[in-house]
């Protein structure tokens, strides 16, 4: 196995292994898990895998979950299709910086994304290291946010385009959760900034020490949230991956965010994603 670090921030490309084999090989799967903790996102090219093998690799990390709005692959629950073409519905929401599904009480631990078909150019995916983003914040900001909590909601992204009755029904199924703004990784114990496109507002910003009088008492909180969400946009924390058919990415959703670059319409891009269930953030 060869491991090539891709940027100073995060990411490594692994060659010389078959992921299909890793799904059934404890030593190989263990080595990949260790590398994921170290590099946060791993890439593999030219993997000849079917959906069942794709799901088997992802299950090495935990149970899989579907997405309430995205089509799953027939016969392989846990693998969703992120397929875009001129014929597909116009929804293209992956081009915002996000951790997957933080609108869940327990957002995914990670995901395994496999490229079936990609445009000749464009359609890259970017990742950002949110532990680095936290580490590089000014100390006074770190102190200010360490105990803050924030609400996350589907409504702030893809559900906003749906009819109100669908929004209400979805909220019944997935009540908007509250998560810590600074999350501790359950394995490494490292701290990561944990606000993204799904985050709507802080829930405990107004304490005795922050009470202000007058009509603009929430301004400070909105500006702080926007500033924190914008940290994923800093190039020094990022990596950009160019897809080829058969390439696979595995990421740790607890400490990274990603952004699928939407520069390729009207070309076709077909990706299958296995989403791995995670823990309640603390």
The least distance separating ligand SIN from the CB of residue 143, rounded to whole angstroms, comes to: 32
Minimal CA–CA distance to 106: which of 254, 205, 259?
254
- Establish whether 67 is a catalytic residue: no
- Nearest distance from residue 271's CB to ligand SIN, in Å? 5
Name the token pair of 130. Answer: 């949110």
- Cα torsion at 112, 135, 282, 126 (round to 10°)? -20
Nearer to ligand SIN, 152 or 273 (CB): 273
Cβ closest to ligand SIN, residue 101 vs residue 150: 101
Q: How many CA atoms lie within 13 A of 131 on its CB side?
A: 18
Compute the radius of gyration of the chain from its Cα atoms.
Answer: 19
Q: Which is nearer to ligand SIN, 53 or 275 (CB)?
A: 275
Min dist CB 215 to ligand SIN, Å, is 38
Find tokens 């915002």 and name the residue: 96
Residue 104 catalytic?
no
Q: What minimum distance in Å lies between the beta carbon of 223 and ligand SIN? A: 27
CA-CA distance, 150 to 158, in Å (whole number)? 19
User: Angle 270-274-280 (CA atoms, 0-180°, nearest 5)?
Assistant: 135
CB of 94 to ligand SIN, least distance (A): 4
d(CA 104, CA 154): 9
Catalytic: which of 39, 54, 98, 114?
98
- Please name which of 268, 258, 15 lies closest in space to residue 113, comparing C-alpha atoms: 258
Out of 60, 81, 100, 152, pick the active-site residue.
100
Q: Is 54 a catalytic residue?
A: no
Task: Find all residues with CB under 8 Å of 149, minimum gap 6, and list them.
Answer: 178, 179, 180, 181, 202, 203, 204
**Nearer to ligand SIN by C-beta: 202 or 251?**
251
Q: Which residues bind ligand SIN (CB under 6 A)?
A: 82, 94, 100, 113, 125, 258, 260, 271, 273
Query: Smallest distance from the beta carbon of 258 to ligand SIN, in angstroms?
Result: 6
Number of residues written out for the chain: 282
Nearer to ligand SIN by Cβ, of 65 and 100: the residue is 100
13, 35, 39, 43 from 2: Cα distances, Å = 8, 11, 14, 12
Choice between 94 and 252, CB closer to ligand SIN: 94
For the question of residue 258 being annotated catalytic, the response is yes
Residues with a catalytic annotation lie at: 98, 100, 258, 273
């Amino acid at each position: 196995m060869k491991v090539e670090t891709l940027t100073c921030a995060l990411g490594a490309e692994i060659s010389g292994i078959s992921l299909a084999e890793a799904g059934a090989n404890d030593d190989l799967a263990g080595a990949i898990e260790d590398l994921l903790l170290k590099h946060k996102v791993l890439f593999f090219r030219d993997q000849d895998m079917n959906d069942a093998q794709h799901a088997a690799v992802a299950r090495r990390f935990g149970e899989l979950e579907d997405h309430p709005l995205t089509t799953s692959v027939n016969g392989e629950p846990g693998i969703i299709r992120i397929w875009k073409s001129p014929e597909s519905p116009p929804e293209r929401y992956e081009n915002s910086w996000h951790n997957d599904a933080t609108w869940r009480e327990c957002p995914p631990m990670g995901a395994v994304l496999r490229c079936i078909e990609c445009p000749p150019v464009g359609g890259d995916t970017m990742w950002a290291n949110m532990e680095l983003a936290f580490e590089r914040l000014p100390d006074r900001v770190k102190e200010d946010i360490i105990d803050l909590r924030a609400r996350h909601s589907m409504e702030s992204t893809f559900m906003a385009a749906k009819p109100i009755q669908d929004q209400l029904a979805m909220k019944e199924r997935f009540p908007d959760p509250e998560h810590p703004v600074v999350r501790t990784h359950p394995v490494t114990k490292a701290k990561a900034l944990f606000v993204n496109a799904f985050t709507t507002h802080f829930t405990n910003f107004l304490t005795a020490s922050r009470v202000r009088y007058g009509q603009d008492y929430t301004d400070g909180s909105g500006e702080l949230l926007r500033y924190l969400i914008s940290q994923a946009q800093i190039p020094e924390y990022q990596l950009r991956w160019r897809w080829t058919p058969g390439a696979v990415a595995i990421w740790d959703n607890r400490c990274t965010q990603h952004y699928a670059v939407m520069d390729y319409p009207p070309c076709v891009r077909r990706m299958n994603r296995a989403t791995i269930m995670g823990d309640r953030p603390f």
